Structure 1
């Protein structure tokens, strides 16, 4: 009896996964997807019924055959770099690493006016690893307190920042779905951009609420993290990969890279629930200058400062005004 119950649970879970996979990814019109999903669910019901009634045994064989076919079809769905992408992910960042010198190609520096009105600019920029001075994590919230998009900004002095963002590479007509992120609906993208682009568009155009955290880490580790982003971007250019809501998203990719650089970095649920990442970073001791994570949140919130800044030249300085952990000498020039 126990074995039958476990098999029934396994079939039910497989049925739910298969139904969603067919509904979200089957390359067919809506009416056909409905029919395929209903057929699949009926076959799963027959498979469960066979556990209790021998006369349904043929249904179990049908379900098994359909399952093998579904798994074969699922395996044939491969990530691609050749799709009708939306403009902001139309190009892929990639870099040339030549000792201390890094050349980044396709650094996004769009001039955003509204969500649909913008001037696209893709630039080539040069950085020296020896000039790297700071690492900041920006978190941008658009709804639930537990969910935020994480971006990492590397500072090279003289207000020269480059932001890396791990995102879904959306196609034209796509809308974001957390469930779709489990079912190969989006490719993964690593985009390098200016702060005036990727940070400003979230606060000033999309209406998101954003926070900045200065991460204190050895510069050797910071340089390794920067190189890990460049390497990840280069890899995706040659071998595309699907975004995954849990295992390949903006936060988990950061920690997969960071754990290679800092062995023993502890696992924590807040690595998945990205909205609580500040508390995790605070517990690690990499946030300084505030008495608590809550105080850091309060002082690190830059939403209003961003919206009050019209001139792009002042954007990076103004969003850092009052952020804990930034040297007083750096704050004196903030406008």
Structure 2
């Protein structure tokens, strides 16, 4: 009985040992994979150097992962042939120490990466919004109004514009689908009583000849930028030039909340001018940053997975009462699809015809109003 009990305990320890080895291997694989991606996306220098350093890291990681397994097999064969258990080869320790040293160097380099505002930027994100304020009078420098011919070519135009906060009377949410139903870009556009509209968009700040990458957004590949643009530029680019499916929803915000949200965008622009920040696909993107601004204005907003899966953001805003809840959401979606109307309006600099057309038939948010939490 005692022998059987000892046998069961031995089997249990072997199972735990196997599970421990498996967990260690998974953790190491995750660390090695993270390092490969971090070097691939963030290591500066010629491509050949990036490939060489990444390959060296992967080789060191693979050696550290495999070496203990090879040593264990050798020990098992020795026991099978009746030989005494060999001493652990110094090579295994050298491999492990090499991996630890390489990991320390990698993490130190990663922590030392700092966002910057002085790179060779792509033309459409080359400038940053700057603000002057005198009471309700707002002067914005570097408002973008490009005339796009293709998704990558445009006639550039950066403008200085003046706005009066007392004339601010509408807020609209625009959701542009570019990769399936779950992934969309979120923009917020403000309307004034004189018929003008201004759109804010939190975007990656790409370097010249650099393309967006969802994976790269996890690995400090891009800085953040806040673009203020004319709807003729930033919405037409998506609906008419890129061919994305673009939806506009009239958001119900009280006058005070509208004003505070507009000012929050200006504060965010100034913050990014003073303190650059990395874009993060999951935590610092076009939706989460807007949500953080809104939560400082409207208290009690719940966090939700739809803030990450931004394609479902309209459902979230509808559920919290931010849209016209007197109509079904599907009705608002069908009326808010701007592409057919947008394509009928030719580009005309300074014209509000595009803005009027895309709102034609879109219900106002009379059924739902969100109020600012501050008095």
- TM-score, normalised with respect to structure 2: 0.82
1:23-49 deviation line (CA, Å, top 9, x unaligned): 222223333323322221222233334
Deviation at 1:236, TM superposition (A): 1.0
| Secondary structure, aligned partner of 2:248 | strand
Deviation at 1:268, TM superposition (A): 0.5
Residue of structure 2 equivalent to 1:203: 239
Deviation at 1:59, TM superposition (A): 1.7
Equivalent residues of 1:289, 1:324 under 8 A apart: no
Question: 1: distance between equivalents of 2:365 and 2:202?
Answer: 25
Residue of structure 1 equivalent to 2:282: 246
Q: Identify which of 103, 113, 120 aligns with 2:156.
A: 120
Relative to 1, partners in 2 of residues 1:111 and 1:35: Cα closer, same or farther, differing over 3 Å?
closer
Question: 2: distance between equivalents of 1:188 and 1:90?
Answer: 12
1:27 lines up with 2:66 in the alignment: no
Residue of structure 1 equivalent to 2:112: 76
Equivalent residues of 2:323, 2:365 under 8 A apart: no
Map residues 1-335 of structure 1 onto 2, 5 A cutoff: 1=17, 2-49=19-66, 52=69, 53=71, 54-55=88-89, 56-288=92-324, 291-310=327-346, 311=348, 312-325=351-364
Deviation at 1:3, TM superposition (A): 4.6
Question: 2: distance between equivalents of 1:150 and 1:66?
Answer: 40
Which stretch shifts more, 199-208 or 165-174?
199-208
1:270-306 deviation line (CA, Å, top 9, x unaligned): 1011111111111111110653222211111011100
Equivalent residues of 2:322, 2:365 under 8 A apart: no
Equivalent residues of 2:139, 2:161 under 8 A apart: yes
| Secondary structure, aligned partner of 1:207 | coil
Which stretch shifts more, 180-189 or 74-83?
74-83
Question: 2: distance between equivalents of 1:259 and 1:326?
Answer: 19
Equivalent residues of 1:212, 1:300 under 8 A apart: yes
Question: 1: distance between equivalents of 2:196 and 2:332?
Answer: 24
Relative to 1, partners in 2 of residues 1:101 and 1:184: Cα closer, same or farther, differing over 3 Å?
same
Which stretch shifts more, 50-59 or 175-184?
50-59
Which stretch shifts more, 105-114 or 263-272?
105-114
When the two structures are aligned, how many residues end up with a matched partner?
Answer: 327
Equivalent residues of 1:300, 1:323 under 8 A apart: yes
Question: 2: distance between equivalents of 1:36 and 1:117?
Answer: 35
Unmatched segments (≥5 aa) in structure 1: 328-335
Question: 1: distance between equivalents of 2:365 and 2:289?
Answer: 26
- TM-score, normalised with respect to structure 1: 0.92
Equivalent residues of 1:110, 1:121 under 8 A apart: yes
Considering only aligned residues, what root-mean-square deviation do their CA atoms show, in Å?
Answer: 1.9
Deviation at 1:255, TM superposition (A): 0.6
